[in-house]
């Protein structure tokens, strides 16, 4: 199985592709797209889309995993991150890939055992697990590889999903169980 992991960012987007055969990991590629923060966001979104499409076409992964949005104090940053995630997901869907998402905490916990691990700790674990010897690897790239590994370790839970009482549930099931929470258009 080939998994592409994406660490979305509006200035730096990390990408990592792993292949898993009989429980053995192989790194196929990792990279980070660095963009100019002064460049208009639509141009950066196109660059991210093209970056993802090029790697998907070259490595032909089976599934794409992406980190969920981190909600900070700056709403503009959160909105840009949502747009970046959208560009990544559309690239995957246009390429016929299934998309999965994981929170930063889930990714850290699956790779290091601690949901509050630091970026350097995650990078150290990634290098050890995947036998990467690159001392110049960017944290965005190691985070992307961690996202791909997280997907493998979690067995690929399909999104969109909502956690309800400790178990994952898809949106269709949620809507069926909670019709009163759905806003319907008047005809």
Bridge partners (DSSP) of residue 167 are: 164
- Angstrom CA distances, 176 to 103, 153, 170, 173, stand at 25, 30, 10, 5
Whether the link from the prior residue into 73 is cis, omega within 30° of 0, is no
> What would the two tokens of residue 13 be?
């987007």
Cβ–Cβ under 8 Å, residues 70 and 32:
no
Q: How many CB atoms lie within 10 A of CB 171?
A: 11
To the query of whether residue 157 is one of the catalytic residues in this protein, the response is no
Rounded CA-CA distance 60/54 in Å is: 10
Q: Are strands 12-21 and 24-34 parallel, antiparallel or unpaired?
A: antiparallel
Known catalytic residue at 7: yes
Phi, psi of 13 (to 5 degrees): -115, 120
**59, 4 Cβ separation under 8 angstroms:** yes
Catalytic residue among 63, 101, 106, 140: 140
Given 63, 67, 106, 143, which residue is catalytic?
67
Per annotation, catalytic residue among 7, 63, 101, 106: 7
- Residues noted as catalytic: 7, 67, 140
């Amino acid at each position: 199985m080939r998994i592409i992991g994406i660490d979305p960012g509006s200035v730096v987007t990390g990408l990592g592709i792993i292949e898993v055969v009989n429980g053995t990991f192989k790194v196929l590629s990792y990279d980070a797209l660095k963009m100019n923060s002064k460049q208009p966001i639509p141009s950066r979104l196109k660059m991210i889309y093209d970056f993802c499409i090029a790697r998907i076409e070259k490595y032909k992964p089976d599934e794409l995993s992406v980190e969920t949005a981190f909600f900070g104090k700056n709403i503009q940053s959160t909105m840009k991150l949502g747009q970046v995630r959208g560009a990544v997901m559309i690239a995957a869907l246009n390429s016929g890939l299934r998309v999965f998402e994981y929170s930063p905490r889930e990714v850290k916990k699956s790779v290091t055992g601690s949901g509050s691990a630091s970026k350097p700790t995650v990078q150290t674990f990634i290098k050890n697990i995947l036998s990467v010897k690159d001392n110049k690897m960017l944290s965005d790239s190691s985070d992307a590889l961690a996202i791909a590994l997280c997907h493998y370790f979690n067995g690929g839970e399909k999104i969109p999903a909502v956690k309800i009482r400790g178990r994952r549930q898809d949106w269709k099931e949620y809507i069926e169980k909670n019709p009163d929470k759905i806003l319907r258009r008047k005809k």
